[in-house]
Structure 1
Amino acid sequence: MTAYRARLTESDIRRLIKSDVEDDRAAAAHKLFRSIDRMVLDETERAAARKILNVLAADTAELVRRALAVTLKASDLVPREVARRLAADVDSVALPIINCSPAFSDDDLIEIVRAGSAVRQAAVASRSRVPRDVATVLAAEGRQEAVLALAANDNADLSEHALGLVVDRFGHASEVVSALAYRQVLPLSVTERLVVLASDAAREHLVTRHALAPETAIQFADFARERVTVDLIDQARVAVDLPEFVARLYGRKALTPSLLLRALARGQMALFEHALAELAGTPHHRAWLMVHDAGPLGLKALYDRAGMPPRLFQAFRSGVDTWRMLQAEGGDTSGEAFRQRMLERFLSQRPDAAREDLAYLMERLDRPAPEALAAIGAA
């Protein structure tokens, strides 16, 4: 504390109070603000410092006010009335404070947004935390530049309603759509709308990271002419409610032997179990017991009851046995490394499967894991 005070000399104070040269006063103000920000102050000292800030926030020199705004932009020492005064100043003074100061209430930030300046709205939208009410007003009333900053800010608390407003207003703007697509969390209703609007790269990210409703997934998976298609097996892996997902696939006649063999070969045992239970009309717990029965009859009985083709049974038997052996070797059966080992081991046994299924599985074996792609994209 003493060291910081020592750096602020009598000459500095004299320049700050009496100098007519703006650069001199700004340099002295900057030194003062840095000293104040670094010192540990008691309540009396904090009150005195705030009086100084209140005076200097009204200084006629823009450079002095800017020195205050830049140096103390994130400080909790700046009183709310000073922060509001600086936020109403010219952009060079206002933007650092608007973007960083903890002094503002939600109502203050909403007032700034509704004043209509795009750059100030963007400063609010880029804050380290944007409360839900503020984010909703930005989504509904913000300029495109500000809404783009909001969409790209994962620390903005955007409700499903607010996200829908952004899509309604700027679904035509590729930059905004892409920024939404790359958010960490998206509601299903918004994901489905973005899949239609997004670029190929953003769409690939959406269908890999976020679950879609089965109807939407099937629609995209069936469009062979689409440059990016949805893999229903990947969608099952990220589905929040797997039984419901499987039931809806069954209702759309999408639980085909091909889908189930591909899922099993990729280590998606839960999808395989729920699908056979759905097709056989039996509870999942009973299907689980029959699939994992060490004897030769349980899986065969369930398989036949599900109406699956007899010629493919040995391929499915091989898949279940491979999964069981790998599980016995230890490791996380839900991880990507396990799925890759499962796929490699399954293909090494030359299963009697349709050519298109084998081609799909070999292509998946060569494709980087979604986690690896995400890491590359984040680098």
Structure 2
Amino acid sequence: MSKKLSSADVARLLADPSDSNRADTARKVGQQFTDPELSGAERQIIQEIFRVMVKDAAVRVREALSDTLKDNPDIPREIALALANDVAEVASPILEFSDVFSDEDLLNIIAKKDSEHQQAVARRQQISERVADALVDTENAKVVSTLVQNKGAEISTKTMKRVVDVFADDRSITEALAQRQNLPITVGERLVNLVSEKIRDHLQQRYKISQEMVTDLFLNAREKATIGLLQPDTNLRDVLALIDQLHRNKRLTPTLILRSICMGDTTFFEAALARLADVPIANAYQLIHDQSGLGLKRLFEKCGLSPRMLEVCRGALNVAADMELNSGDDRIRFRQLVIERVLTRFEEGFDPDNLDYFIAKLGRAARAA
């Protein structure tokens, strides 16, 4: 079948103006509008035909027009808006694919139309932060799920955190959010805490185990995953944002700080102590690396950290001074050296694979102190 409207098509339409024939005509007129050889007058005529077709009583006709015009960047904005504000079957193709719309157009659609229109917007190849914010504001699970799975959507850190807060119990949304590229570390930490809390609740409900054991398992899983968010190339600004969030939510615990230095995250360790002591990072750095050892001791006292942890951290800092950490393999080697040089001195028969147990034990001692 020819893509362009012919005299035969016109004759058929006049003889049988059925929905099917009118829809076929809509497709052909829409395809003909892409012809670069059309004169200005011909374009004006076709646009007038569009204005008639967007008012056609048959959804099938308007849907055919929307589907045909969805990839055309030259369609009149008024035609695109008329189709976008139509019923969902008509609106969805042009809302999802057309580049004609401004952010203001899309924001108006989101505010005034139903979830099917909103989902079509959420599927667009590119979505600005403003539009993403408005989609999340709908608090519609299907809309938000579509948005967070869209790699072309620009979603701000603030909006991602709102998604976690509103849809904490929707696994499909939180899992999709967790798999987004360049996930902000503060959002990752909130997801870690969310998952850890669910594990804790499951253990408490299903198994008859002591509260102390549940607490240890919960903290271990959460803190291990939190430190796992830190990478060798994580910048200081992101580390500071993470520490502020942890401190604000009472999750900047002694065991987390201990785990960080045992895993070679000296930047996190230094910034965490600075936050707890409420001193500038530069001051904390000087105290931590004071050759006499008194600076670290005084900083620990100001932070209210256990003296028993002090020697472990000092030993780990000595290991850090002996090597440079540039990759994941370096961190594994660092952990092994900390175990070999430091932790075996504190626990006779220490199992190298049981670092988590040792940290939990120190944590219990610190909580009991």
Instruction: Note the alpha carbon deviations across 1:11-35, whole angstroms, 9 max, x for none.
Output: 5653675352544554454344345
Residues 354, 253 of structure 1: alpha-carbon distance in 2 compared, 3 angstrom cutoff: farther
1:223 aligns with 2:215: yes
Aligned mates of 2:270, 2:129 — CA distance in 1? 41
For the 8 Å contact 1:318–1:351, the answer to whether it is kept is no
Q: Quote the offset at 1:39 in angstroms.
A: 4.2
Residue type at the aligned position of 2:217: R
Residues 191-222 of structure 1 deviation map (CA, whole Å, 9 limit, x = unaligned): 6765555588999xxxxxxxxxxxxxxxxxx9
Matched, 1:91 2:88: yes
Q: Is 1:335 aligned with 2:332?
A: no
Decide whether aligned partners of structure 1 residues 109 and 265 sit closer, same or farther in structure 2, where only a CA change above 3 A counts: closer
Q: Within 2, Cα distance between the matches of 1:202 and 1:126?
A: 33
Q: Percent identity between the aligned chains?
A: 27
| Deviation for aligned residue 1:268 | 2.8
Alignment pair present for 1:102 and 2:102:
no
1:1-379 aligned at under 5 Å gives the runs 8=4, 10-11=6-7, 13-14=9-10, 17-18=13-14, 20=16, 21-37=18-34, 39=36, 47=44, 49-141=46-138, 143-153=140-150, 155-158=152-155, 170-183=167-180, 184-185=182-183, 188=186, 197-198=194-195, 223-226=215-218, 228-231=221-224, 233-234=227-228, 240=237, 242=239, 245=243, 254=253, 260=258, 263-264=260-261, 266-271=263-268, 283=283, 286=286, 298=291, 316=316, 319-320=319-320, 322-323=322-323, 327=324, 333-343=325-335, 352-354=344-346, 358-360=352-354
**Are the equivalent residues in 1 in contact too, given 2:139–2:166 (CA < 8 A)?**
no
Q: Distance in 2 between matches of 1:320 and 1:313?
A: 10
| Aligned residue identity for 2:352 | L
Whole-angstrom distance in 1 between the partners of 2:297 and 2:163: 50
Q: Report the CA distance between 1:96 and its aligned residue.
A: 1.0
Report the TM-score when normalising by structure 1: 0.59
Q: Tell me the distance in 2 between the aligned counterparts of 1:125 and 1:268.
A: 38
Contact 1:148 1:175 in 2 (8 A): yes
Separation in 1, partners of 2:179, 2:199: 7
Counterpart amino acid of residue 223 in structure 1: T
Q: Deviations over 1:243-274 (max 9, x none)?
A: 7949969x999557x955x5455343434666
Contact 1:73 1:96 survives alignment (8 Å)? yes
> Structure 2: which amino acid aligns with 1:283?
N
Query: Structure 2: which 5+ residue stretches go unaligned?
Result: 201-213, 301-306, 358-369
Q: Distance in 1 between matches of 2:31 and 2:199?
A: 44
Is residue 318–residue 346 contact of structure 1 (8 Å, CA) maintained in 2?
A: no
AA of the residue aligned to 1:124: V
CA distance in 1, matches of 2:271, 2:103: 47
CA contact (8 A) 2:63 2:89 kept: yes
CA contact (8 A) 1:87 1:97 kept: yes
Distance 1:276 1:230 in 2: 16
Distance in 2 between residues matched to 1:99 and 1:357, nearest whole Å: 57
Instruction: Using the TM superposition, give the Cα deviation of residue 341 of structure 1 relative to its aligned residue in structure 2, in angstroms.
Output: 4.5
Shift in CA distance, 340/102, structure 1 to aligned 2, threshold 3 Å: same
Q: For residues 75-128 of structure 1, what are the alpha-carbon distances to aligned partners after superposition, in whole Å with 9 as ceiling and x for unaligned?
A: 212222212222343432221122222333444434433445222222223323
SS in 1 for 2:221: coil
> Match of 1:30, as an amino acid?
R
- Bigger CA drift: 228-237 or 39-48? 39-48
Asked if the contact 1:16/1:29 (under 8 Å) is kept, the reply is no
User: 1:322, CA displacement in angstroms?
Assistant: 4.8
CA distance in 1: counterparts of 2:163 and 2:312, whole angstroms: 48
SS, match of residue 223 in structure 1: helix
Q: After TM superposition, give the deviation of residue 321 of structure 1 in Å.
A: 6.1
Unmatched 5+ residue regions in structure 1? 1-5, 204-221, 291-297, 328-332, 364-379
Q: TM-score, normalised by structure 2?
A: 0.61
Q: Structure 2 CA distance, aligned partners of 1:179 and 1:147?
A: 10
Q: Which amino acid aligns with 2:120?
A: A
